[in-house]
Structures are given as structure tokens and as C-alpha cells.
Chain A
Amino acid sequence: MAKKVAFLQGNEAAAHGALYAGCRFFAGYPITPSTEVAEVLSAELPKVGGKFIQMEDEIGAMAALIGASLTGSKVLTSTSGPGLSLKQENIGYACITEVPAVIVNVMRGGPSTGMPTGPSQSDVMCAKWGTHGDHPAICLVPASVQELFEETVRAFNLAEKYRTPVMIMPDEIVAHMRERIVFPEPGEIEVVDRKGPSVPPEQYKPYDTSFGDVPPLAAFGSGYKFHVTGLNKMQDGFPTTKAEIVQAEEERQVRKVEANKADIMKWEEYLCDDADVIVVAFGSTSRSARFAVNEARKNGIKAGLFRLITFWPFPEERLLELSKKVKGFITPEMNLGMCTGVVKGCIEGNAPVLGIFRVDGEPINPDQILDKMKEVK
């Protein structure tokens, strides 16, 4: 049978990816340029027995998400710019209580209201450090409509597998761009459900590490009861200030992601094997970069593209390896140097890193990248 194809906007693809992954709950507050995610789900969720709630604000939306996830539902919210800032308090709450949740954040100009309709890539640090305290961070940065669908499915899988919030951050261009998409058949892409308890309710502890770093999560309403708090907690969920427990639990929460980086990280290397200059880019900027790399190759410049698909965790080890054999890196990004700093931090000074930064609401075009390549000697 011929597969279903459509010409969809990135945001619409994210909504359909969520449905494919089994999302049955959405709470949010509409905001440009992410509103279409909510729009599609407001129409589609009721048809599959799901719930859509437009909340009073983004803080409430994130709180509703945590509550709904604790009943066993797969949950999503979408937001942008100032909405992401508001969600941060409860994103931290989801981190420490280890509640799976997926947050689509479409990157627009900032800080504050910034440029609501302009593209940006300036929230990638907010994905890791936006909420206070040490905590695990997973952030996916797709570059096409098809990939936004597929990475949204993967965002749910990672959230469920590691009991943690996962962010998916298309820039405004990817989110509002329309392309042809081929819908995968059910079963074609893996869908992961969270691990439930294997012990009866009276023996259940919500943070029982005897099952590994990711404890099974029972659903409220299924006969299991447990305590949920934003305070540092013991295995039974009740608060503690005992130094050794707090230390161990904090480390375990971060380790859930750090020790499983190989499973989570994803990137694409294009013509990197013999490259003298490697462009490290993500989102729509990686599309300009690929165009520039192809042009450069036609002109005899050995250029390659390292395209980040996960921004967090960051593929530090692989870039360190590549840094030993290149003459330089180019890091185009629609912010003032966020990715550039991370690349510099992981390559131990082996090669120069030349940034191209744009925050004027215009995309970085291939010519800017081609010009910068000439500076790499």
C-alpha cells in the first residue's frame, strides 16, 4: 500500500509525531511561532480519546503536564520564547520528580518578547541551564519537517525511557517551513513506553534504584500511591536532607542521561572524512551549511558538515577526535555564540573555531558561510 504523504508545516509534523508516539495529553498556552502544534492537537487529540487543555498560562500548563504524566499518560506542551522562561520552574520540578514530559520550544528572537515572528537559535543554553540546579538535559534540534516528526517520536521515547523531560527545539524556520512528509506506518518507528512497577503497591517505591538508574514509574489511579515533592527525596518519595542520599540521588538523576549518551546523542557527518574545514551547525542553519559545503567542494575546498541532531547531550568526544585532523571549524548560528562556546570547550584548542552570529531575524545564508571558509588557513 502506498504510504500517506502530505505537504506539512514543521509544527504540524511535530503534532502528528506526538500522536504517533502515543501522546494523549496536551496542556499549553498559544504563542507564536509554536501555536500550530497546539492547533493541530486541539483538533486531533479528542478523536483518539486524548485531552487538550488551554491553560491560564505556561506555568500552569507545565504543572498540568506533570500531573497528567503521573497518571500514565504521554504528555506534550509547546511554547516559544517567554513561554519557555515561564515553564522553567516546573521543568525543574519534572526533573527532580523524574516525570516524563515532552516540551516543543520553537526558537524565536529574545530575550523577553524579542522578535515574535523572527527565527532564532538562542534557546539552546536555556534547554540545559534554564531551570536552576544540576539536572539531566536532553534537547533535540531537527532540521526538516520529516525529521521534526521523527525526532518528536524519539523525544517521547527518551522521556519515557529515562523518566525525564525532553525538549525538542526547532527554530522558527524549521517550524514554519512546509515540505513533503511521508508518514511512517504504525510500528515502523519504535515507540517506547515507560517501565511500570513489577511489585505490588505495598512494596512499591517511586525511586527504587534496585531496578537501575531509572526506577519504574507507577500510574496514579492504578492502585499505587506515592509521595511526589520538589524537595530532595528518598527512594519512597518522601523528603530528606541526609547528605549521602541527596548526593547519590542528584548524581543518579544526571547519570541517567550522561551514562546513556551513546543511546541519546545523534548527529550526521557529511563529507567530514577528508575535510579541512568542518561546519558545525544545527536546525535551519545546517541547511545553509550543507548548501555552502556543496558549493565549496565544487571550488576545490575540502569542506564538511557536522550536523547536530541532539544539542544536549553534546557530542564532545567525536568533535575532539575530528579537531585533531581539521584546519578549522565554522559555527554559524542564529545567536551570539552559544554553540561556538560549547565547541571551543570540547576540542582542547586543537583548531580555531570561527563563529558566524546573527540575531537580526534573518537566516544565515550560504554565502556568509562560504566567505568564512576562506578565513580558515
Chain B
Amino acid sequence: MAGRYEIRFSGAGGQGLILAGVIMAEAASIYDGIQAVQSQSYGPEARGGASKSEVIISDETIDYPKVTQCDALLALTQEACDKYSHDLKEGGVLLIDSDLVLREPVGNFKVTKFNITNTAKNEIGREIVTNIVALGAMVALTGVVTKEAAEKAVLARVPEAFLELNKKAFHLGYDKAMAAKA
């Protein structure tokens, strides 16, 4: 890759977006051996409120740890999409939850949408893995970390009892994004 690639995971507090960002960054930094920095911004609420997690991936040293011009944005809620899509660059990747984000930002973006939250809830059976479904999809759409590295990073982060659940969520997100890809 050449230079910085800037990714933002956004949604509501409590949806596990910070963890999704951490896993993406770990995939790059620990398993793919390139540079990554993850940072976050959230409100004082324990749940709810717009929340974001930013990941910068680069083959060079990363100075500024935040997004300057977003290459890829995940928005799981309308509020997050409205608040965090302003600096998505032209031609950038936009992944949205098709059930929850009804007003898309105006612009020339590569938009992919599917029912991310309901996939976790109905097809995996646990809404709590929404973040891992979304992560799988972002890995597919951005291509900045390898699928293998991302899977290893997911499995290294979850408790033994939930390995299969998360693995399934990751792969389902990956496959659905590939199928829905614009």
C-alpha cells in the first residue's frame, strides 16, 4: 500500500465499534506487520450517543493519529452517518446498515449496504456480534488487511466459548459485503 489509509467505524455507544477498530488495527500491526494506530472518540454516556473509532493503516510511520480525509466509513446508525460522513473522500468506501441508515450522504462514494445488525441478530442469533459482522464487511471492502490476519485478530480477542460464534459472524459479514459490493 502507498501511504495512509484512514478508516472510521461509527455508530452508537455500546455497539462495540471501538473493539472493531482495535481488531482491524491489530490485524494490520501484529499479524500483517504494517503500521497502525487506533483512536476513539465517545461521549460521556455508557450506551447511546454517537461513537467512533478511527484506524490509520500505513506502510510508513504514522504521525497524525486521527482521520484527515476518510478513505472508508462504516455507519451503523443514522446519527453517526450524519455526524461522521462529512470528510469521506470522493470515491471513498461507505458501508451502512440498510435497516438503520435511511438517508445516505450526498456524494460520489462507493456505497455498500446490507442489514448488518439484523444479520447478527437473526442469522447468527446474537445482536452482540454486530461489530464483528461489520468488521468482516469492512475487511472485505477495504482490502487493507488480509482476511487471514483479521480472522486471527478476531479470534485472539474473544473468549474461548465464543470463538465459533465470532468466526461465523466475521465470515458472514465478509461474504455479505462481497456480494453486496457496489
Report A's interface with B, CB cutoff 8 A.
5-7, 32, 116-117, 173, 176-180, 284, 287-288, 290-291, 294, 363, 365-367
Contact = CB atoms under 8 A, between A and B. Distances in A.
B65 A173 contact: yes
Contact of B22 (A116, A173, A178): A178
B36 A180 contact: yes
Interface string B53-67: 000000000011110
B109 interface: no
Contact of A288 (B35, B37, B63): B63
Nearest to B54: A177
B91 interface: no
A117 B44 contact: yes
Interface of B: 22, 25-26, 29-30, 35-44, 63-66, 68
Contacts of B68: 291, 365-367
The B interface, classified by DSSP as helix, strand, loop or mixed, is mixed
Contacts of B66: 173, 363, 365
B39 A177 contact: yes
Given A7-B22, A117-B42, A180-B29, A366 B64 contact: yes
B39 A117 contact: no
Given A117-B42, A179-B38, A288-B63, 17 more contacts: A6-B30, A116-B44, A117-B41, A117-B44, A173-B39, A173-B65, A173-B66, A177-B37, A177-B38, A178-B38, A178-B39, A180-B29, A284-B65, A291-B68, A363-B66, A365-B68, A366-B64
Contact of B43 (A117, A178, A180, A294): A117
A10 to B, nearest CB: 10
Contact of A365 (B37, B38, B39, B64): B64
A160 to B, nearest CB: 32
A330 to B, nearest CB: 16
A196 to B, nearest CB: 42
A287 B64 contact: yes
Contacts of B39: 173, 176-178
